[in-house]
A = this chain, B = another copy of it.
Amino acid sequence: MPGSPAPSPKTAAGDGSGPPPARRRVPLAAGERRLLPEATVKRLPLYLRALADAGDQQQATISSEELAAHAGVNAAQVRKDLSYLGSYGTRGIGYDTGLLRQHLRHELGLEKEYNVALVGAGNLGRALGHYRGFTERGFHVVAAFDTDPAKVGGFIEGTEVFSVRDLARVVKDRAITMALVATPAAVAQQVVDSLVEAGVTSVLNFAPAVLNVAPDISIRRVDLAVELQILSYYDSSRRHEYAGTGS
């Protein structure tokens, strides 16, 4: 049963917005850095991308105003977010692009490279396997898995497709800690259970299902049908907007 009732509602269920609700409350020692607010974490990658754009244009510094424009947020937001990192801006000038980029990469843990598993070699899975953006950013898809014997033994962009029966072994052998789940919804929960069992601690779930995992596992959901349904809501509320009042 994929959607078995969670023992506790506080489980780190993959709701797509809050992957690790576990916030620490302990006093924390000297050099240690406190967990950032979740909303801030979601924006840091956008600032990083804005910096890449600025760096391309040989810009030595960038203002919170410019970063805000690139990230589609308020400038005060940018300053507050960056101030959580101990902030390395200069008043009257702005942020040093190179320095800030380094700090953001460090804070996001992007100095490390990650080995990633891809589970499900259907249409979406194969597209994910071909996607260049992952490797470029240090996320290496080093193994794919499927149940279909016709797909097992094949390759996706140089990555071998294994049987899911070999999942535990391959995940351990290749030191895989992240996974992309692109299976049918019906098997997604058991797949993620196997992945976690084998040592995976971060999961990006593309299956249209909410998955339950232990609180020390991060899971995020990318749900295409849900996105379209959200758009549908706003579209339809626009259509009805001028049907009520005449004012």
Q: B245 and A20: CB pair below 8 A?
A: no
Q: Of all chain B residues, which has the CB nearest A36?
A: B233
Query: Which residues 228-247 of A have a CB within 8 angstroms of B?
Result: 228-241, 243-245, 247
**Contact residues on A (Cβ < 8 Å of other chain), bracket:** 35 or more
Say which residue of B9, B33, B139 sits within 8 Å of A228 (CB atoms).
B139
Decide yes or no whether A183 CB sits under 8 A from chain B: no
Pick the interface stretch among A95-103, A107-115, A164-172. A107-115
Q: A19 and B230: CB pair below 8 A?
A: yes
Alpha-carbon gap, A28 to B245, bound state (A): 6
Query: Which residues 215-236 of A have a CB within 8 angstroms of B?
Result: 216, 218, 220, 222-236
Decide yes or no whether A79 CB sits under 8 A from chain B: no
Pick the interface stretch among A86-94, A130-138, A143-151. A130-138
CB neighbours (8 Å) of A70 from chain B are 3, 210
Q: Given A177-B235, A222-B222, A234-B19 in contact, is the A229-B32 Cβ separation under 8 Å?
A: no
